[in-house]
Amino acid sequence: MSFSHTEDNLSAKRKSRLPVAVIVILAVVGVAVAATILFAVALPAIAGSLFLFGETFETRFLADYGLYEGHIEEEDALFEQNSQLLVFPEELSADMQVNDYYYACSTKGLDNSYQLLLDYQLPPEKFRQEVRRLEALSVNYNGQTKRVIYDTESFEYPAYVTVYTTHGDCEYALIDEENNRIIAVLAMHGHGSLDESLFPKTPIDYGSEADELGFSIYLFETKDGVWVTAGKM
């Protein structure tokens, strides 16, 4: 008889523990659900804050052309990691008619962003000289050579392309031959305020000229698998 009473006592204890276990499990699940909801609500705010805080500089003054330092922190990262601005003239000449100029840079977001536009016209002979310069662009690194790509299909005008990557970075010169006009465009980490008509309307596929990053005349992969940015030849 005493053995039967012992079994009854154990059974009663197990039954009494069951609701406690259920309560604990429900509490853990509730905390997890609440944490998930809180994270989902907070994540957009956290991500948004990355784009709210930081420095931004923009200019349309021609006197600022060629000045790419001192406006934001680590502004020179543009040249260290992305570009040497080969499609842009080094300086503005007296016989150049500038239709539009815009430069912007910002530290908002995960990486510095840059947008640069120079829309200009030249006398016929100077225009032909500049086109010849553009079509001859090439960059060499450690015995490897990359050359500018001439694209007649992706843009409103034929383009000499030095950068078009899978994550949206781009640099090219659009050639409006009828008006002796060149539109040099650069956009790194976003298009910013640049007009969308400047960007391609069809997907770009440069075949063997591209790699998993897209195409950049400046980027070379070393035999150790490290990507480096090279300057002009």
Give the C-alpha separation, 31 to 25, whole Å.
10
The amino acid present at 35, given as its one-letter code, is A
pLDDT, averaged across the chain: 80
Give the lowest-confidence range in 55-59, 76-80, 81-85: 76-80
Q: Is the pLDDT of residue 81 over 80?
A: no
Give the C-alpha separation, 163 to 186, whole Å.
9
For the record, the structure tokens of 138 come out as 């090439």
The answer for 192, left when phi > 0, alpha when psi is -120 to 50, beta otherwise, is left
For residues 109-122, one letter each, b for 16 or more C-beta atoms within 10 angstroms of the residue's C-beta and e for the rest, the string is: eeebbbbbbbbbbb
Give the C-alpha separation, 136 to 75, whole Å.
28
Predicted TM-score (pTM) of the model is 0.74
The amino acid present at 172, given as its one-letter code, is Y
Give the C-alpha separation, 144 to 195, whole Å.
35
Q: Is the pLDDT of residue 34 over 70?
A: no
pLDDT of residue 186: 94
- More reliable by pLDDT, 55 or 186: 186
Residues 6+ apart with CB under 8 A from 59: 102, 103, 104
Q: Is the pLDDT of residue 94 over 60?
A: yes
Q: Which of 205, 230, 233 is nearest to 81 (CA)?
A: 230
SS3 category, 126: helix
